[in-house]
Structures are given as C-alpha cells and as structure tokens.
C-alpha cells in the first residue's frame, strides 16, 4: 500500500471512530517520519508534566533544588472519577521532590504536579525548554485546571453534557468557550513538538544526559497503560510514555525501543467527537492507527 493510500485510510478510520487525530511517528535513527496533521496545536492536558519533570530535574542538576527536600502537600479531596494519587487524598502529606516527580509522571497525579509547579512556575519551565531549543511547546499555567473542568459541575448522570460542550464549544481558530480547551490560553503543543521533545530526551541534544535519563526512567515506569501500550509492549520492545486526558481530549506520547536497536518516537493527540467519558474503543483505535503508521515507516 502506498503511503498516500495508507494515510487516507487511517484518516477515514479515525473519522468513522469519532476521533479527530493529530499524529506523528519518527524513526529516531534516520529521522524519517509519517504523520496526520502533525503541526496542529492542541491543549496539552497532562502531557505538560513531561516538560515540568524535565525542568525540575535540570534545576536539581544545577543545584537549585534538592530532590530529597520534603514539601507539605495539601490534599486534593477530589471525589469525581478520574484523578488518582494525592488528588484524592483527604489529609495533608509530606513528600520529597523526587517522589512528587514519580507521582506526577507515573501516576499522572495533578496534585503532585501542582506542588512541583510551586517550585518551578510555568514561565521558568518554558524558559528551560527554550534553553534546550524546544520552542514549540507552550507552558502558560499550572495543572489546577485539569481538576476543575465542566465535568465537576454536573451530576454523574449528566457528565455527557460536559463532553457535548467540549465538542461543540470550539471556534474555527481553535478558541473555545471552555478555557481548558482554548489554544490561546491553554498549555499547548503539536504532535511534532512533542516528538521533538522525545527526540531530545532519547538522542544526543542540549538536554544534559543525566537529566534526559531521569525523565526516560519515569516514562518507562508509567502505570497508565490502557491506551497505546497494548500495541507497543512486548518481550522484544520497551514502551516509555506519558498520557494526557481532559474532557474529550485523549493523548499519549512515547518511544518504542526494539530489541534490534530501532526506536520510534510517537505522539498521538486526539479529540473525541462522541459525548461520553468512557470510550475504550477510541483508545484502541488510537493505538491501532499509531501502530499501523509505525509498521509502515519501519518497512520503508
């Protein structure tokens, strides 16, 4: 099958499955890549925790922070489905910076990330990204908004209304009535920008090697593996990743490393057009399309 025919078929499958997808797969050794709308900017959701971890580890390397320092973290006390970790704690906890990094990255704990943003504010995270030559990921605010969405305004039986608002509230210029989804106000990045970040972490770059290794290690231990992991995990591969979920957004970025030495950076950003919280079929479709793109690129 030609590349053009393949991409047309993948777009059709995404559309039929109720997804708008922006994707990029890149061979980290050759630089060859294959994508669908890879330059479209979308809100980052929890993907922003990767730049946050990168900036925090860099500040530890510089001696500005100590990973053993403990912080008093207030409880999230969230009762709606979704958030985990400290976000659901009922009482304050004292936790070391290194352990907050684990919770933020591996469990996608937004309360832990909020504590880390207290040490390294968004503007500082953005500055460190720019120092490393990564200018296409926008970090404007902390992650408080990830646990304060329209979902929290509705009873459980009416959550679909929040998703309907997310689907229908956008403008042609990617503004949105829901600020969390407005690309002029939210943390944002394109599939290409996230793949550029992954490449900087997995191959020689301006990112110090010890910093890159610590971020890679956390991504290898990500416990949220329901999305792309089923199609990229095996005894002959290592899948390192970070997910992002917010209203109708379902994202995942990661690197699959094969036993034969090949490695591919993958970014899958999607917007669901179906007003429902739980869509396992959409997550399976994301993985299927990403796997098909990787397989095709691997054979070129």
Q: Helix/strand/coil (H, E, C) string of 97-134? A: HHHHHHHHHHCCCHHHHHHHHHHCCHHHHHHHHHHCCC
The Cα 165–Cα 247 span in angstroms is 9
The Cα 63–Cα 294 span in angstroms is 40
* Burial class of residue 123 (count of CB atoms within 10 Å of its CB; 0-12, 13-18, 19+): exposed
At 39 the pLDDT is 97
Which residues, including other chains, have CB under 8 Å from residue 30's CB and lie 6 or more apart?
none
Residues of the chain with pLDDT under 70: 78-82, 145-177, 179
At 180 the pLDDT is 72
The Cα 22–Cα 271 span in angstroms is 9
pTM of the model: 0.91
Which residues, including other chains, have CB under 8 Å from residue 121's CB and lie 6 or more apart?
142
CA-atom Rg of the chain in angstroms: 18
Contact 116, 93 (CB under 8 A): no
Which residues, including other chains, have CB under 8 Å from residue 16's CB and lie 6 or more apart?
none
At 227 the pLDDT is 93
At 26 the pLDDT is 98
């Amino acid at each position: 099958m030609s590349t053009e025919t393949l991409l047309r078929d993948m777009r059709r499958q995404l559309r039929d499955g109720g997804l708008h997808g922006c994707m990029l797969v890149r061979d980290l050794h050759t630089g060859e890549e294959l994508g669908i709308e890879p330059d479209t900017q979308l809100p980052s959701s929890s993907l922003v925790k990767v730049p946050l971890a990168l900036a925090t580890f860099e500040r530890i390397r510089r001696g500005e922070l100590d990973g053993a320092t403990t912080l008093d973290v207030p409880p999230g006390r969230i009762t709606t489905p979704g958030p985990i970790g400290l976000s659901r704690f009922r009482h304050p906890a004292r936790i070391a910076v290194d352990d907050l990094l684990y919770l933020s990255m591996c469990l996608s704990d937004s309360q832990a990330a909020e504590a880390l943003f207290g040490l390294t504010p968004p503007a500082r995270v953005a500055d460190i990204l720019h120092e490393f030559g990564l200018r296409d990921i926008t970090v404007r605010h902390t992650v408080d908004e990830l646990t304060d969405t329209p979902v929290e305004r509705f009873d459980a039986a009416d959550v679909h209304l929040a998703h309907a608002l997310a689907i229908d509230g956008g403008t042609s210029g990617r503004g949105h009535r829901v600020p969390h989804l407005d690309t002029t106000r939210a943390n944002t990045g394109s599939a290409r920008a996230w793949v550029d970040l992954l490449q900087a972490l997995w191959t020689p770059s301006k990112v110090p090697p010890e910093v890159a290794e610590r971020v890679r290690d956390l991504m290898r231990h990500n416990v949220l593996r329901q999305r792309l992991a089923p199609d990229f995990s095996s005894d002959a591969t290592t899948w390192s990743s970070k997910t992002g979920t917010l209203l109708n957004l379902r994202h995942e970025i990661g690197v699959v490393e094969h036993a034969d030495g090949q490695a591919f950076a993958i970014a899958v950003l999607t917007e669901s057009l179906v007003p429902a919280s739980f869509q396992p079929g959409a997550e399976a479709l994301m993985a299927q399309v990403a796997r098909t793109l990787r397989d095709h690129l691997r054979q070129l």
